[in-house]
Copies of this chain bind each other. A is one copy, B any other.
């Protein structure tokens, strides 16, 4: 198996990426195609213990920065993201992993790879930590304007991902809404509610924003606008609370001593609530495996993201999504199988 990895994407690229890629090749026994500025990438590679690692270098003369927008996505024809995606398109790689600009990866892979047969809209999904374990949020930003059938397809794709990659049988699917009663929601969610109830999925009904981190549902489905707002609000709350807590504690010497005493435990907590620890997001429904690691990934996180890509391929997630979407036609009516 060959996994193409964007050596230029992420806050600690290329060093952390090259290191994670070598570890992944050794541990998962796969070939990694490192895509990026060959000279720089090779220099990082030379530093490492490379025993039994299978690494191939693919040159890409351009890189898309984290802050860049759609103009660069289009213009930079030799970017590592574009070339990595192209490798998948042409069958030269089985999957692509990048820790770079999420918008760029979504845009370019939609353009080059397109959607799986029958999938109307590929979606961005993300695992977040909860009181019970991990919950998949889908869509967290790929599709801001959605029709009901899109959300039903997101549910199916989330279901297949959780069963086949995360090993969770019959995952509970909740629909993000504004009240638990069946009738609560907006025009979009009410229609989705009916369709999900008519499906064979393990649909548990509406969930509220407050349930996002309790583990009540294993998958929470929403349109990409709502999902993105929910995710970003969460990040904001965590940052604000940690900031306020620090400020409050620094005012008092006893509290400062207290903070010192619990430092180790708080660090563990921070690791738990920091969703960047969980290897990042998956673009589901694209005609090619595409994993988006978090920008802040260290070598271990990079290795894990590459491992995730391998699991996608081994478990034939793409094929299963396509088959299940085809089976949906009786619920959706409007989708061609």
Contact = CB atoms under 8 A, between A and B. Distances in A.
A230 interface: yes
Contacts of A222: 229
A142 B233 CA distance: 20
A167 interface: no
Given A255-B261, A257-B258, A238 B236 contact: no
B240 A266 contact: no
A127 B43 CA distance: 54
Contact of A258 (B69, B211, B223, B259): B259
A196 to B, nearest CB: 17
Contacts of A257: 258, 261
Given A144-B186, A222-B229, A261-B261, 19 more contacts: A131-B243, A144-B185, A145-B186, A178-B224, A178-B228, A209-B236, A210-B233, A212-B236, A213-B240, A214-B236, A225-B226, A238-B241, A241-B269, A241-B273, A244-B272, A248-B272, A249-B265, A255-B265, A259-B262
Nearest to A228: B178
A185 B243 contact: no
Contacts of A144: 178, 185-187
24 contacts: A131-B244, A141-B178, A145-B186, A145-B187, A178-B225, A189-B225, A209-B232, A209-B235, A209-B236, A210-B235, A211-B236, A213-B236, A233-B234, A241-B241, A244-B269, A248-B268, A248-B269, A252-B265, A254-B262, A255-B266, A257-B258, A258-B259, A258-B261, A261-B261
A191 B272 CA distance: 39
Given A245-B266, A261-B257, A261-B261, A228 B209 contact: yes
Interface residues of A, number: 62
A130 B187 CA distance: 32
Contacts of A187: 144-145
A131 B240 contact: yes
Contacts of A225: 177-178, 185-186, 189, 226
Interface of A: 69, 130-131, 141, 144-145, 176-178, 181, 185-187, 189, 208-214, 222-226, 228-241, 243-245, 248-249, 251-252, 254-255, 257-262, 264-266, 268-269, 272-273
Given A258-B257, A265-B249, A209 B181 contact: no
A272 B230 CA distance: 22
A229 B209 contact: yes
A248 B232 contact: no
Contact of A262 (B211, B228, B240, B249): B249
A273 B261 contact: no
A254 B261 contact: yes
B232 A210 contact: yes
Contact of A240 (B214, B224, B255): B214
A133 to B, nearest CB: 13
A131 to B, nearest CB: 6
